[in-house]
Amino acid sequence: MHWIDWTIVVTYLVWIVWTGLRLSRQTEKLEGYFLANRSLPWWAVGLSVMATQLSAITLVGTTGQGYIGGLTFVQVYFGLPLAMVILSVTVVPFFHRAKVYTAYEYLERRFDAKTRFLTAILFLLSRGLSCGVIIAAPSVILSVVFGWNLTLTILAFGLPTILYTMKGGVQAVTWADVKQMFVIVGGLVAAVIALIMGLPDNVSVGAALQTAGSVGKMQALDFSFDTSNQYTFWSGLIGGLFLSLSYFGCDQSQVQRYLTAKSVDEARHSLLMSAFWKIPLQVLVLIVGVLMFAYFLFTPSPMLFKNSHVAAVQGSARAGEYAALEQEFAQAFSTRKAAAEAMAASHQTGTDALTADQTRASFVAADEAIRDVRARARALVVDVTPDKSYNDTNYVFPTFVTQHLPIGLVGLIIAAVFAAAMSSVAAELNSLATATVIDVYKRHLKKDGDDTHYVLVSKWATVFWGLFACVVATSAANMGSLIEVVNKYGSYFYGSILGVFILALGVKRANGHGASVGLICGMLAVAYVATTTDTAWLWQNVVGAVVVTVVGTVVSVVTGGNRAEPAGR
Do 363 and 270 lie in a common domain? no
* Structural domain count of the chain: 2
Q: Cα–Cα distance between 88 and 84 in angstroms, integer? A: 6
Assess whether 293 and 311 both reside in one domain.
Answer: no
Q: Is residue 81 part of a domain?
A: yes
Same domain, 290 and 340: no
User: 527 and 451, same structural domain?
Assistant: yes
Mark which of 391, 414, 434 sits at the end of a domain.
391
Query: Same domain for 416 and 349?
Result: no
User: Same structural domain for residues 414 and 379?
Assistant: no
- Tell me the C-alpha to C-alpha distance, in Å, between residue 147 and each of 141, 307, 397: 10, 9, 16
The dihedral over CA atoms of 367, 368, 373, 376, expressed in degrees to the nearest 10, equals 150
Q: Are residues 366 and 404 in the same domain?
A: no
The whole-chain average pLDDT of the chain stands at 84
Q: What angle do the packed helices 512-532 and 482-506 form, to 10 degrees?
A: 150
Same domain, 214 and 70: yes
Cross-strand partners of 321: none
pLDDT in tens, the chain (569 residues): 788 988 988 888 788 777 766 766 656 677 777 777 777 888 888 888 787 777 777 777 788 889 988 888 888 888 889 989 998 888 888 888 888 888 888 888 888 889 899 889 988 988 888 888 788 877 876 776 677 777 888 887 777 778 777 776 677 777 777 877 888 888 888 899 999 999 998 888 999 999 999 888 988 888 888 777 778 888 888 888 888 888 888 888 888 888 888 888 888 888 888 888 888 888 999 999 999 999 999 999 999 887 777 778 888 888 999 999 999 999 999 999 999 999 888 877 766 667 778 888 999 999 999 999 999 998 898 888 776 667 778 788 888 988 888 888 888 888 877 777 777 788 788 889 999 999 999 988 888 888 889 888 988 898 899 999 888 888 765 555 555 666 676 777 888 888 998 998 888 889 989 999 999 999 999 989 988 888 877 788 889 999 999 999 999 999 887 755 444 44
Nearest to 403 by CA among 415, 393, 413: 413
CATH number at residue 430: 1.20.1730.10
Tens of pLDDT, residues 127-153 = 888 888 788 877 876 776 677 777 888
* pTM: predicted TM-score of the whole model, two decimal places: 0.80
In degrees, to the nearest 5, what angle opens at C-alpha 23 toward C-alphas 410 and 184?
25
The reply to whether 243 and 105 lie within a common domain is yes
Residue 179 inside a domain? The answer is yes
Q: Same structural domain for residues 279 and 154?
A: yes
The answer to whether residues 435 and 512 belong to one domain is: yes
Range of the domain at 415: 3-297+400-558
Give Rg (Cα) of the chain.
25
Check whether residue 171 and residue 116 sit in a common domain: yes
Residue 365: partners with Cβ closer than 8 Å, 6 or more residues away: 339
Looking at the domain assignment, is residue 228 inside a domain? yes
